Structure 1
């Protein structure tokens, strides 16, 4: 994303962490341009941001109920417990 594409009010995404937000300020610091996002209050290098329009692509969101999230949480918890029981000998050995 070029510096010209980043303007106050633009919605952008920082792909390394998936952080998305609206640009509230653009500043030059030590010769580089940074954009402050409203979602975190942090500055991100403009050349590492992508437009949220491009990031969204073909992503479709479906409505999910609280029960759906609870069910998914319980399934993941059960999977993690199973992996822990079968996949480790519960020792705390360190390498070296």
Structure 2
């Protein structure tokens, strides 16, 4: 059986093993199968075990961990922690002790 030649919404070629994003929900996954039927061409994502029409997929440069977890680099983590530190040291705690409701 010959491999199916297909492309994503932007015309980039799709192959088994590529990481893609499903545009309607943002689901990220690796293509583990490609099939065609009367309704179109479909890519099976490893993270959901569901087939998606290839015209709703977009090639992604992101890495996928187990079951769709995004892998973060050390730099990503450092940037996140620095941004959290800046927020807490700014002294803006008005949302932390907000009282609501009444008695």
Question: What does residue 28 of structure 1 align with?
Answer: 36
1:49 and 2:57 are equivalent in the alignment: yes
SS of alignment partner, residue 47 of structure 1: helix
Rounded Cα–Cα distance in structure 1 between residues aligned with 2:26 and 2:12? 22
TM-score by length of 1: 0.53
> After the TM superposition, which residues 1-96 of structure 1 pair with which residues of structure 2 at under 5 Å, given as runs?
1=8, 5-53=13-61
RMSD: 3.9
Q: Is the partner of 2:55 in helix, strand or coil?
A: helix
TM-score (norm 2): 0.50
Please list every run of at least 4 consecutive aligned residues from structure 1 whose deviation after the TM superposition is greater than 6 angstroms: none
Task: Point out where structure 1 has 5 or more consecutive residues left out of the alignment.
Answer: 69-96
1:5, distance to aligned residue in structure 2 (A): 1.2
Q: Distance in 1 between matches of 2:39 and 2:22?
A: 20
In the comparison of the two structures, how many residue pairs are matched? 75
